[in-house]
Amino acid sequence: MFSAIPTLDLLLKGLLLTTMGMFWVVLLVRVNGLRSFSKMTNFDFVMTVAVGSLLASASQTNSWSAFFQAMIAMAALFLVQFVTARLRRRSDKIEALMQNTPVILMRDGEIIDSALAETRVARSDLMAKLREANVLNMQQVRAVVLETTGDISVLHGNHCADDMLEGTKTIGHR
């Protein structure tokens, strides 16, 4: 592709294609905005993995057509993310269709076992997240929420305002 010497060709090809691919991703992120690789939705996670996979395949390709196909596919992913983000903002129905609902796993110091069972979260994972959030006493915990991204948020302190739990689902509790 670049040189008659196979080792040099591999080196040049890897360096050039990876550099070009990285600059393309940076350009797409600049055009699409800061949200490009956020973890706000499950769609964002898939977007991040897919772009990484396309970048890896683009940097290892043996032809310009395969390289440009990967670049076009990346641009298409960013376009789809842009369009779906706009649609989600404008329509509650589309938002509900595309997004899972966060689930409360623990409320006011009490673990909600039915929520753990339905979301397939192990009690040991919940305890690890509580330790990670520096919870020293279960009674400090106002709420633990399994977010739409799979992250677990721990809200602790003296009081938790109801609006902090807006849009969450409670399973089998109170």
Q: Give the model confidence (pLDDT) of 94-153 as tens digits.
A: 877 777 788 989 999 999 999 999 999 999 999 999 999 999 999 989 999 998 878 899
Asked if 86 and 118 sit in the same domain, the reply is: no
Confidence of residue 75 (pLDDT cuts 50, 70, 90): very high
pLDDT at 169 over 90: no
Provide mean pLDDT across the span 51-70. Answer: 93
**pLDDT at residue 66 above 80?**
yes
Binning pLDDT at 50, 70 and 90, where does residue 173 land? low
Q: Residue 19: what pLDDT?
A: 95
**Residue 1 within a domain:** no
Judge whether 141 lies within some domain.
yes
- Domain end marker among 96, 124, 141: 96
Give yes or no: residues 128 and 159 share one domain: yes
Asked whether 98 and 43 are in contact (CB, 8 A), the reply is yes
164 and 134 assigned to the same domain: yes
| pLDDT above 90: residue 52 | yes
Tell me how crowded residue 15 is: count the other CB atoms within 10 A of its CB. 12
Q: 0.85 exceeded by the pTM?
A: no
5-14, 22-31, 68-77, 108-117: least confident range: 5-14
Do 122 and 81 have their domain in common?
Answer: no
Predicted confidence band of residue 24 (pLDDT cuts 50, 70, 90):
very high
Residue 174 has what pLDDT? 53
Domain total for the chain? Answer: 2
Mean pLDDT across the chain? 87
For 22, the domain range is 6-96
pLDDT of the residue at 1: 62
Confidence of residue 18 (pLDDT cuts 50, 70, 90): very high
